[in-house]
Amino acid sequence: MTVSFQFTEEQEDIRRAAREFAEKEFTPELARECDREEKFPMELFKKCAKLGFHAVAIPEEYGGGGYGPIEQMIVMEEFSAVNPGLGLACLLPTFGVEILLLHGSEEQKEQYVTKIAKGDAIMGMANTEPDAGSDSASIKTRAVKDGNEWVLNGTKQFISNGSIADFILVTARTREMESFEKRHRGISYFIVETDREGYKADKIKGKMGIRATDTAEVSLNNVRVPESNLVGEEGKGFYYMMEFFDITRVWVAAQAVGIARGALQLVIDYVKQRKAFGLPLAAFQYIQFKIAELATKIEAARTLTYRAAAVQVEQGKPDNTLSAMAKWYAGEVAVETTNWALQFHGGYGYIDEYPINQFYRDAKITEIYEGAKEVEKLIIARNLFGFKGR
């Protein structure tokens, strides 16, 4: 078996191009504006989409780059290392496309995925509810068949792109199961265009971080969609969701690695310039040791993240243990790194004018979405012990 820890020449080209774009377009002024005003950078997204960074892993037949998860991770990591908020805003408009690619009909792919790949549409995913976060099988949103339509009612919480998307993928219960243990078998996915009567999205303000991205509470009040908007098989939605999370957890891990890398570089640059007691902060052994520890942890998280992505390529599907490990550990490293980086900035780090402030706030979400870190540990443990279920 050959083990390589280097990118191919083509992957390195993608990495350089992503980095150059981010360094040119993710200006400090735009980052502060979008963070303070909690504004989605539509113009920036259009520039990103024109170059295809957002659609690097969408197959060529639908207008994407035709690459795979490793290249997708590369773009996410480089964008996040420059500015986590703007980087996520550029890439999140495709959130959920994997479900359409894996389980959507050819008609759905032609109608929706091609628009996403071109940057002509923004999509979102609506799984989480006020009382159903990590316990995804406990959703209460209902979809009832009425002739050749489905009628949806319910409330979704913390929905990315909820108020700016052209359509979202919604999980809804299409049948009641006879026992609590089997509740996950009655969930289905639907495409819901956001201009349909009964769809309402209220933008959530005051988020701690990732403020350049749109997050909303979505209400569905007798929203009618045609039969053709059912994605895949009725009743298989929970399984599609779990499959999706196994994929996107590695995506979040790459985001966390990028955040950690960016924060580490910020603090290295800062302590080399800042002085205390007549010496640069970089001269103090404690700071040197801590930065060395953080750099080592980042490299370990990065290796784990790309191993998880490589296994997905080799096997044609993700390894959910590795995905959970990568997401949990990389998120923890991002939070630890940004915490120390802000600490070494002292009082300046507490002011949002300094980039490390935003890195610190943006890092925490990587331990929460796509399954909280406690869920990741539970997945790992269950697989190690051979327990069934998730």
Cβ neighbours of residue 101 closer than 8 Å, sequence gap 6 or more:
58, 59, 62, 109, 113
Could you tell me if 38 and 163 are in contact, meaning their C-beta atoms sit under 8 angstroms apart? no
Cβ neighbours of residue 259 closer than 8 Å, sequence gap 6 or more:
80, 81, 84, 334, 337, 338, 359, 362, 363, 366
Could you tell me if 199 and 220 are in contact, meaning their C-beta atoms sit under 8 angstroms apart? yes
End-to-end CA distance of the chain: give it in Å, rounded. Answer: 31
Of the candidates 71, 217, 243, 370, the residue annotated as catalytic is 370
Tokens 């995506």, located at residue = 251
- Torsion angle of C-alpha atoms 116, 253, 355, 47, degrees rounded to 10: -20
- What is the number of helices (H) and of strands (E) in the chain? 13, 10
- Known active-site residue 370: yes
Q: Which two tokens stand for residue 28?
A: 């400090």
Which of these, 195, 196, 190, lies nearest to 141 by C-alpha position? Answer: 190
Q: Which two tokens stand for residue 6?
A: 């280097």
Could you tell me if 27 and 67 are in contact, meaning their C-beta atoms sit under 8 angstroms apart? no
Instruction: Tell me the Cα Rg of the chain.
Output: 21
Element (H, E) at 304: helix 285-315
> β-strands 142-146, 149-160: how paired?
antiparallel
What is the phi/psi pair of residue 360, to 5°? Answer: -60, -45
- Residues designated catalytic: 370
